[in-house]
């Protein structure tokens, strides 16, 4: 079974600073990778996804992520965060041929003014 590790449960950062949220997954022949954001009392919103092709993926709200197959990582980055980016972020992986995504436990991004 797939597993996803989000290495930081909480990441505090000041507004306009860069941020990186880390995600590692257990190895598989082919995987699809996702990052979701969850604001308080809301469902999850897809930020970006990696299906194939270029290892650098750009998403919404200025976020991007890089797929690193050798390190089985898919870290999320943003060069300059806003207060409104404060939320819970989830990394998810789905093995090719399966409909079942496995989510990490989430990283709480806290942006301070």
Partner 1 sequence: DAGVTQSPTHLIKTRGQQVTLRCSPKSGHDTVSWYQQALGQGPQFIFQYYEEEERQRGNFPDRFSGHQFPNYSSELNVNALLLGDSALYLCASSWTGQDYEQYFGPGTRLTVT
Binding residue for partner 1, selected from 44, 62, 64, 72, defined by CB under 8 A: 44
Closest approach of partner 1 to the CB of residue 4, in Å: 8
Cβ neighbours for 65, distance < 8 A, ≥ 6 positions apart: 33, 35, 48, 50, 56, 57, 59, 74, 75, 76, 77
Closest approach of partner 1 to the CB of residue 34, in Å: 8
Closest approach of partner 1 to the CB of residue 84, in Å: 18
End-to-end CA distance of the chain: 41
Is 24 a residue that touches partner 1 (CB under 8 A)?
no
Is 13 a residue that touches partner 1 (CB under 8 A)?
no
Contact 23/9 with Cβ under 8 angstroms? no
What is the Cα Rg of the chain in Å? 13
Cβ neighbours for 98, distance < 8 A, ≥ 6 positions apart: none
Taking CB under 8 A as the binding criterion, the range among 17-25, 34-42, 64-72, 78-86 that sits at the site for partner 1 is 34-42
Is 98 a residue that touches partner 1 (CB under 8 A)?
yes
- Applying CB under 8 A, which residues contact partner 1? 4, 32, 34, 36, 41-46, 49, 51, 90, 92, 94, 98-106
């Amino acid at each position: 079974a797939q597993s996803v590790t989000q290495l930081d449960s909480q990441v505090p950062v000041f507004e306009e600073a860069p941020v990186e949220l880390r995600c590692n997954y257990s190895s598989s022949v082919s995987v699809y990778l996702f990052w979701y954001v969850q604001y308080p009392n809301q469902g999850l919103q897809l930020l970006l996804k990696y299906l194939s092709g270029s290892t650098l993926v750009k998403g919404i709200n200025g976020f991007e992520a890089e797929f690193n197959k050798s390190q089985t990582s898919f870290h999320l980055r943003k060069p300059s965060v806003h207060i409104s980016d404060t939320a819970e972020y989830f990394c998810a992986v789905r093995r090719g041929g399966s409909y079942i995504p496995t989510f990490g436990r989430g990283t709480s991004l806290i942006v301070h003014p």
